[in-house]
Amino acid sequence: MAAPLNICVLGGTGFVGTELVTRLARDGHWVRVPTRGQGHGQHLGVLSTVELVTANVHDPRTLAQLLCGMDAVINLIGILNESGRASFQSVHADLAGKLVAAARGAKVRRLLQMSALGADPERGPSRYLRSKGEAEGHIRAAAPHLDYTIFRPSVIFGPRDSLTNRFAALLPLAGGFLPLARSQARFAPAYVGDVADAFARTLGDRASFGETHELCGPQILTLEELVRMTAAVARLPCHILRLPDTLGRLQAALLGLVPGKPLSLDNFRSLTVDSVCTQNGFARLGISPRHMMALLPFYLGPFTAPAELDAARKTND
């Protein structure tokens, strides 16, 4: 195993962050996780080598303090929708710029940046993807002072995802009827454990310095197939009404006004480009990405706890 490092993980309290921070702690690293507070990240408190700090990472001085004494920094902070002062520009692009400056000041050379497939500062169809592309630009521009690696995953699934869990929650509410925008949009869902593995393996891998890794699961699915798979595993009725783009855009505009924004116009625009890899970084990192169908039953299906699986196995013996 590589020597233990001091690592600051921005966005470490979220879905991907929880998986990654847990993995880093298990690998023997010491991890600092800033959070805006609101009780997020309390679940990480059981890990004795994880330090949860309430801090405003957008404040350059605070960011500099957070990076003091760190060997590496990982930026997972991201939003799917804007709210209040949290714009895509400030949370993705501006924060990346501040992070590069803070890392330089604190002499932290190693930086892993979470981006997204399709990120492009000019040609990205949504503000989400353009701001992710702009963030990548800030990181690459700092190359002489920074050993960076950028990750661009497709959608990520796992026990606490907001993808399969959302559809599993929505379907019963509407009696199984789901009007679906961009049903033909294609994804290659990546398992959160594999994504965390990619980050963890890359930390000390000099060959990854300056590289951008796309991360895709082994199977390409349309949004409709993904919903149907979720419904089948969760044993829910599923009748999909494929919306043409004119209606899909209207649906997104309306749902964008609902609290929690289940879909927004910006989300709709992101869905106009396929989220599939041109070259899968998992292979380059020696990881065999896991199949969605193999893992979904463990958290959406009837067997959600190991004890239940054991019981099921015994019945089958």
Among 24, 31, 112, 114, binds ligand NAP (CB under 6 A): 114
Per-residue binding letters, 128-157, with ligand NAP (x by CB under 6 A): -------------------------x-xx-
Stretch that binds ligand NAP, among 15-23, 104-112, 167-175, 217-225 (CB under 6 A): 15-23
Cβ contacts of residue 71 below 8 Å, gap of 6+?
A: 5, 6, 7, 108, 110
If one asks whether residue 13 binds ligand NAP (CB under 6 A), the answer comes out as yes
Closest to ligand NAP by CB, 42 vs 309, is: 42
Which of 86, 232, 250, 276 binds ligand NAP (CB under 6 A)? It is 86
Residue selected from 32, 50, 74, 78 as contacting ligand NAP according to rule CB under 6 A: 78
Closest approach of ligand NAP to the CB of residue 3, in Å: 26
Q: Which amino acid would we find at residue 282?
A: F
Tell me which of 79, 232, 236, 255 binds ligand NAP, using CB under 6 A: 79
What's the token pair of residue 255?
């749902």
Please report the sign of the dihedral spanned by the C-alpha atoms of residue 149, residue 294, residue 14, residue 166. Answer: positive
User: Binding segment for ligand NAP among 32-40, 103-111, 249-257, 286-294 (CB under 6 A)?
Assistant: 32-40
Q: Is 76 in the site for ligand NAP (CB under 6 A)?
A: yes
Least Å distance, CB 251 to ligand NAP, is 21
Residue from 8, 50, 66, 116 in contact with ligand NAP (CB under 6 A): 116
How many Å is the maximal CA-CA distance in the chain? Answer: 61
CB closer to ligand NAP out of 91 and 252: 91
- Among residues 91 and 108, whose Cβ is nearest to ligand NAP? 91
Binding flags for ligand NAP, 159-198, as an x/- string (CB under 6 A): ----x-----------------------------------
- Provide, rounded to whole angstroms, the least separation between the CB of residue 36 and ligand NAP: 3
Q: What residues are paired with 177 via a beta bridge? A: 239
91 binds ligand NAP (CB under 6 A): yes
Please give the residue ranges that form the binding site for ligand NAP (CB under 6 A): 11, 13-17, 35-36, 40-41, 57, 76-79, 86, 91, 114, 116, 153, 155-156, 163
